[in-house]
Structure 1
Amino acid sequence: MPELDALDKKIFGLLAENGRMSNLDIAAKTGVSEKTVRHRIRRLIERDGMRVTATIDSAAPASRLIVLVRVEPGQRFVVAERLAAMPQVDEVHLTTGAYELIVRASFDSDSDALEFYVRHIEQGAGVEESLSTHVVETITGAAASRPDRFEEFDQQASAIGSLPELLDLACDVATASLGADRVHVAAGSADPATMRWRGLSSRYVEEILAKGRTEGAVLPNIVKHDQHVFSADAQTDPLFGSATDLVVSEGFHGWLGMPVCSGDEQRGTICLYWDSVIAYREDLVRQVQELADTLGKHLPRFAGQSTVDL
């Protein structure tokens, strides 16, 4: 096949990004006439075998993990083959460096992802150490740049002088911008003195914290694994099994918990609640992550301060 020249390559690249782009638009982007574009496309199809096809993007899995795995000496291939054979695992990469394996896996829910990680990675034979992270969104080179959704929150937070004001502002932004019916924001330790919430009863906050200390409920899992956790319906999700009665009495269904970090240090959590069952959405998780990142940027200024100091 003859080698494509610069114009052919540019036309091919434009059609690869958008197969519905008109010849006139291609001509405008390449600086040649529409007739030339039409001739080049016909030649690319007839001579070079180019095909412009239609595809439907499959829905992204509700929960995706990337896990770095350090294995016991001599167990690299054994562990890799064990994990690669599991239906949840998409890919296992053998690597050099501190971790011998990189595992990418997909799940129907965060509950399934957490169970997989604990049972087959943390407790898995031959695994010495691991580090996991949730995939929030996949961005390709063709993705358009997005405006900063929380620029105003960032500006307002910069002028705030106390932790209570900052957490109150985060609660207001979460309910107004993200559609949450209720919200809980914590800074630092699991102590009501460093928290603010909207739409939740004090009884719920106190009891869920007590359950977390004694039963290892879902909130401590966010802190332990430094990952977001999503539940379409907390009233039926096994993650909330030890607190089902409490959740039902409070009346919410959808739930999303996100760690709030500043650099490598975790500074707190933000949890959103919906009164109805909701579906997992990558854009929602990304937006909550943006809010958490912006909040984490400002929390270090109030280290050691509680909401009852002022």
Structure 2
Amino acid sequence: MSELDPLDQRIFGLLAENGRMSNLELAGHVGVSEKTVRQRIRRLTERDGMRIGATLARSAARSRLIVLVRAESGQRFAVAHRLSALPEVDEVHMTTGNWELIVMASFNSDSDALTFYVNHVERAAGIDDSRSTHIVETISSKTGESAAAFEQFGVRASSAESLPELLDLVCDAATELLGADRVHVSADDSWLTGPDASWTKSMRWRGLSSRYVEEIRMMGRDSALTVPNVVRHHQHLFVADAQTDPLFESISHLVASEGYHSWFGMPVRNGDTLRGTLCLYWNGIITYREDLGIRSQELADMLGKHLARFGNEQTDAVPEESELTGASHDRGGTPRT
């Protein structure tokens, strides 16, 4: 292994402590651009044999519930202990005031949450009255870090010197901040309408094969595909399972070969001007959440603002080898989990 210079050593040390640290976070710690970090990680991996370990995180609950409980006289402790023993319940808090207990619980679906509420609260002995509400988003130090990461993206996007660099930053943000497994982003609609020789110049993608992107482009010229329509008609569209949804029936063979399920496409605007398109993909089936829509739109809006600096610049960027061969690729920013 070649001797590491100080920058390589710092990047290696940070990844050794936290292999899930994003390229944007690494860049902030070591004081260089995200592009430099990507290049250094690639060199450390290919030349020096660095390997980044993987961890399997527990999936977040799809439905969370807060239940306010008023217990019958003398039943407060009995109700609290009974509810706290249920596997769905995360915490039970005893409080003062009109509601004596606050119950926080997590579920795989809204249907499971309703079943829990009916069976274990409404029909349960010792409970005089109750109210319930779903949690949409939790604001904590963790979400504060996420907001800071969006701010950091804005700073780095402001200093992007080229359209490809800006689009690469968006791909990083979509995977690292929104949890998408795959991303496709375009600065205009030239990938659908432009000449064959230049269709990759104003776009980037992560986790998708170039075969998939090229076939979507070719089919989009002659058919009413979902992805091109998002571009042409400025539509927002979320599809829970593209492998079974009728909207994706005409490209079912492509979806199956890529292996993704949930899909979220949205226009990228600057004011009333359409600047491009952002499409997010998830390997599994996810439930649409309001916070996901808000955060995705925030990223699209930030991209639209920065795209205005470049206009509809058509770059002479050369596609990477993985694009030319049709293999799945990460363009240097596949999320490390």
Corresponding pairs, count: 182
User: Quick one: distance in 2 between partners of 1:150 and 1:230?
Assistant: 22
Residue 299 of structure 1 pairs with residue 307 of structure 2 = yes
Q: Which residue of 1 aligns with 2:209?
A: 201
2:271 to 241, 244, 263: 263
Residue 273 of structure 1 pairs with residue 285 of structure 2 = no
Q: Which residue of 2 aligns with 1:155?
A: 155
Once the two structures are superposed, the pairs formed by residues 1-310 of structure 1 within 5 Å of their partners are 22=96, 54-57=130-133, 147=147, 150-191=150-191, 192-309=200-317
**Superposed structure 1 runs of 4+ greater than 6 Å apart:** 18-21
User: Quick one: distance in 1 between partners of 2:131 and 2:229?
Assistant: 38
**Highest RCO, 1 vs 2 (Cα 8 Å, sep ≥ 6):** 2
Deviation digits for residues 201-250 of structure 1, max 9, x if unmatched? 11100101112221020122223442311111111111111100011111
User: Quick one: distance in 1 between partners of 2:302 and 2:130?
Assistant: 39
CA contact (8 A) 1:164 1:306 kept: no
Q: Secondary structure at the match of 2:228?
A: helix
User: Quick one: distance in 2 between partners of 1:147 and 1:181?
Assistant: 20
Q: Report the Cα offset of residue 57 of structure 1.
A: 3.9
Q: Secondary structure at the match of 1:271?
A: strand
Question: Using a 3 Å threshold, how does the CA distance of structure 1 residues 261 and 148 change in structure 2: closer, same or farther?
Answer: farther
User: Quick one: distance in 1 between partners of 2:135 and 2:225?
Assistant: 30
CA contact (8 A) 1:260 1:296 kept: yes
TM-score normalised over the length of structure 1: 0.53
CA contact (8 A) 1:218 1:240 kept: yes
Q: Report the Cα offset of residue 254 of structure 1.
A: 1.1
**5+ long unaligned stretches in structure 2:** 1-67, 71-94, 98-128, 138-145, 192-199, 319-337
Please tell me the root mean square deviation across aligned C-alpha atoms, in Å: 2.9
CA contact (8 A) 2:220 2:228 kept: yes
Aligned AA (1:174)? A
User: Quick one: distance in 1 between partners of 2:213 and 2:189?
Assistant: 14
Q: Secondary structure at the match of 1:283?
A: helix
Aligned AA (1:56)? S
User: Quick one: distance in 2 between partners of 1:243 and 1:221?
Assistant: 14
Q: Report the Cα offset of residue 180 of structure 1.
A: 1.0
Question: Using a 3 Å threshold, how does the CA distance of structure 1 residues 181 and 54 change in structure 2: closer, same or farther?
Answer: same
Q: Secondary structure at the match of 2:254?
A: helix
Q: Secondary structure at the match of 1:183?
A: strand
Q: Kindly, what percent of the aligned residue pairs are identical?
A: 56
Q: Report the Cα offset of residue 306 of structure 1.
A: 2.4
CA contact (8 A) 1:190 1:209 kept: no
